Amino acid sequence: MAEEHKHEESIMEKIAEKIHGHDGSSSSDSDDEKKASSIKTKIFRLFGREKPVHKVFGGGKPADIFLWRNKKVSGGVLGAATLSWILFELLQYNLLTLFGHVSILALAVLFSWPSATTFIHKKPPHIPEVHIPEEVVLQLASGLRIEINRGFTILRNIALGRDLKKFLMVVAGLWVLSKVGSSCNFLTLIYIATVLLFTIPVLYEKYEDKVDHFGEKAMKEIKKQYAVLDEKVLSKVMSKIPRGAFNKKD
């Protein structure tokens, strides 16, 4: 009886080992599948973006305005920008003149309204206290400071001759900016930038998968052409330029 009992225990142990071995292999297979799925789900995003578009704009109310989360506010801001461009650019209205006339009209109406309420039997208007929230200003200032410091770092690296690719990109961007500036004035340029800021991000957010897929193909082609240009032209030119102190790291 004891031998039969030991034989049964050995059989049960073998069965248990097979079951655990199968579970271990299945768990390892599931881990491999998770890794493969995580690799597959890694999608190319423009400019190496890892956050949603709303987070890229800092989140909060400014991002809601640019991405048309609140259509009334976004439409009002874009409409005000369009009206200002029409008044100052097309109608050639002067800013100080417009500000003076609007202020005079508003103050005259507000000043005479309490006296007029006694004749029309209505309550005087409630004028709310207007103030700029400190949090919004700090968020905008912090974001602007980060971008300015990043720009200074890029310009410093370019000035030290460390990044030829960025140097060419900056030169090309400044050349395009000079061409655009020669065809339109500063106010029109600001208005165009405002319209683009209110249209391109929301369209990109809506069609980001298609845009990123096209951008991935474009980036591969650009890198391929840049590699050919670097091999045939840029590397030969840079080899002939004495770098001297530029090669030393600070």
**pLDDT attached to residue 81:** 92
User: How big is the CA angle at 70 (ends 212 and 95), to the nearest 5 degrees?
Assistant: 100
Do the beta carbons of residue 46 and residue 210 sit within 8 Å?
no
Q: Residues with Cβ < 8 Å from 208, sequence gap 6 or more?
A: 45, 53
Q: Is residue 147 domain-resident? A: yes
pLDDT-flagged residues of the chain (< 70): 1-44, 46-49, 124-125, 234-250
**pLDDT attached to residue 27:** 46
Per residue in 70-81, pLDDT (tens digit) is: 899 999 999 999
Q: Is residue 33 domain-resident? A: no
Which residues span the domain enclosing 150?
133-183
Dist. CA 34–CA 5, nearest whole Å = 43
Q: How far is CA 177 from CA 158, 170, 191, in A?
A: 19, 10, 15
Q: Is residue 137 domain-resident? A: yes
Q: Is residue 87 domain-resident? A: no
- Per the structure, the count of domains in the chain is 1
Alpha helices in the chain (DSSP H): 2-41, 53-56, 60-66, 71-85, 95-120, 134-159, 164-183, 186-206, 208-229, 235-240
**pLDDT attached to residue 79:** 94
Do the beta carbons of residue 67 and residue 202 sit within 8 Å?
yes
Per residue in 56-105, pLDDT (tens digit) is: 777 778 888 888 988 999 999 999 999 989 988 888 888 788 888 889 99
Q: Is residue 150 domain-resident? A: yes
Q: Is residue 149 domain-resident? A: yes
Residue with tokens 């109406």: 109
Residue with tokens 């410093």: 156
Q: Is residue 122 domain-resident? A: no
* Angle at which helices 186-206 and 208-229 cross, to 10°: 110
DSSP 234: I
Token readout for 184 is 């339109």
